[in-house]
Structure 1
Amino acid sequence: MTTVTTRTVTYQADALTMVGHLALPAGSDRRPAVLIGPEGVGLSDVERRRAEALAELGYVALAFDLHGGRYLSDPEEMLARCMPLLADPDRMRGIGHAALDVLRAEPRADLDRVAAIGYGTGGAIALELGRDGVNLRAIGTVNGLTTGRPGEAARIRCPVWAGVGSEDPIMPPAQRQAFTAELQAAGVDWRLAVYGGALHAFHHPPVDHTALPGVGYHPRHAQRAWRDIVGLLAECLPVAE
């Protein structure tokens, strides 16, 4: 098995000291780099393991933080922080850019080959980086099918892949349609995968946040969504280029 090196990185964003998880592949050469944004509850071992899995595949990967090193297991506390955040593109971009700066400061990261993927709130942040005109090779978002400010999707310069559960009440068909209509009107290369029977956060193994209505783990679709994201990266951000 390929040796992966990990370390904790701290940085400032959104008036908080964020605590991210950086995973590096074996070797000393420059590699394509991937930002990984967590669900609204915050950074957990789920995203840390995903960063390490991408490092195993040869990527420099940073799982970034949302809440200053905290995991918001209480649904009311999580919603109280995330709902205003999701309504404020500039705050989301600030969090995304701060993490991107950390990733870019890593000597192993190839600054011309960067992708952003995320889940829920983290996926919304990945999209806002694209809408802010960041030079990304790919954007992947699961659950976070958010629309942006009028016209700004035209700044997205890379393919966008989105995944959602068919039974997700937080991202219902009307929201999916608004999201894809925005990307289509902007001329973005987009794809949408709808996973039949899946709820919100279907990709996330059962933890305390599943007490939220409309949230549930779907093991089979979780594996499929991960394969789809890995496929997106293989297409747009190949390790050997």
Structure 2
Amino acid sequence: MTKVTTRTVAYPADGLTMVGHLALPAGDDRRPAVLIGPEGPGLNDFQRRRADALAELGYVALAFDINGGRWFTDPQEMLAYVTPLLADPDRMRGIGRAALDVLRAQPRTDPDRIAGIGYGTGGAIVLELGRAGVDLRAIGTVNALITGRPGEAARIRCPVWAGVGSEDPIMPAEQRDAFTKEMQTAGVDWRLTVYGGALHAFHHPSVEHAVLPGVGHHPRHAQRAWRDIVDLLTECVPVTE
């Protein structure tokens, strides 16, 4: 297992001081890098561990913040914050670009080999970076089938993989169809994996006792979704020794 170094990074975005989690693999050479976006409640240890796991695989990884270091425990408070954010592509892009600038500035980051992955709101932010024409090598999202402004998906310059639960009421079949139509019309190299029987946020262990309806953990599919993300990164931004 590769030795990983981690540290907290603070940076400004969206009028807030964001608090991200940077994970670095052993060595001092430049490596491909991954931007990791968290779900609506914010950045917590789950996403920090994802960054650490990617660093163990040899990537420079930054789990970025979306709400100034907060973790929303009240679902209604979280929705009050996230709903207007998801309706504002420019604001999402600003949050994503600020984090991307931090990642690019790391001496270990190969600026020509950066991928973005994200969950829920963080996935929507990564997709907006793609729609803005940002040079990413891959985009992978879970529970983030948010469509963009008409025609802007044509700016996406990399393969897109998306995962969603079949029983997710927040991302129902109609939303899946709209998202895949957007990607197909734009000529994007896209894939969608639907995990049978899974609810929204099925990837996240702490939603086991969630109070929002339609949200629940699915351990088997959570592992599969993670493997699918790693496979995407291996294909598009392989770590070369």
Q: TM-score, normalised by structure 2?
A: 0.99
Question: What residue number does 2:132 align with?
Answer: 132
CA RMSD of aligned residues (A): 1.0
Residue type matched to 1:219 in 2?
A: P
Equivalence for 2:199: 199
Distance between the aligned counterparts of 1:129 and 1:178, measured in 2?
19
- The alpha carbon displacement at 1:206 in A equals 2.4
2:179 paired residue number: 179
Q: CA deviation at 1:121?
A: 0.2
Residue equivalent to 2:121: 121
State whether residues 183 and 190 of structure 2, in contact with CA within 8 Å, keep that contact through their aligned partners in structure 1. Answer: yes
Q: CA deviation at 1:73?
A: 1.0
1:47 matched residue in structure 2:
47
The equivalent of 1:58 in structure 2 is: 58
In structure 1, the partner of 2:111 is 111
Matched residue, 1:168: 168
Cα offset for 1:208?
A: 7.8
Task: Please report how far the alpha carbon of residue 211 of structure 1 lies from its aligned counterpart in structure 2 after TM superposition.
Answer: 1.2
Which residue of 1 is the match for residue 239 of structure 2?
A: 239
State the match for 1:14 in structure 2: 14
3-state SS of paired residue (1:206): helix
Stretches (4+) displaced over 2 A: 206-209
Measure the CA separation in 1 of the matches of 2:216 and 2:210.
6
Which residue of the partner structure matches residue 152 of structure 1?
152
Aligned-partner residue type, residue 218 of structure 1 = H
Task: Look up the equivalent residue of 1:32 and give its one-letter code.
Answer: P
How far the C-alpha of 1:170 sits from its partner, in A, is 0.1
Gaps of 5+ in 1: none
Q: TM-score, normalised by structure 1?
A: 0.99
Give yes or no for contact 2:34–2:60 (8 Å, CA) kept in 1. yes
1:188 is aligned to 188
Aligned residues: 241
5+ residue gaps, structure 2: none
C-alpha distance in 2 between matches for 1:102 and 1:142 = 23
Percent identity of equivalent pairs: 81
Q: Which amino acid aligns with 1:152?
A: E
Inter-partner Cα distance in structure 1 for 2:9 and 2:162: 28
Q: Is this contact kept in 2: 1:74–1:209, CA < 8 A?
A: no
Q: CA contact under 8 A between 1:113 and 1:137: conserved in structure 2?
A: yes
SS in 2 for 1:52: helix
Give the distance between the partners of 2:210 and 2:33, measured in 1 at CA.
31
Q: Does the 8 Å contact 1:73/1:209 carry over to 2?
A: no
1:116-150 CA-partner distances (Å, limit 9, x unpaired)? 00000000000000000000000001000110000
Q: CA deviation at 1:33?
A: 0.4
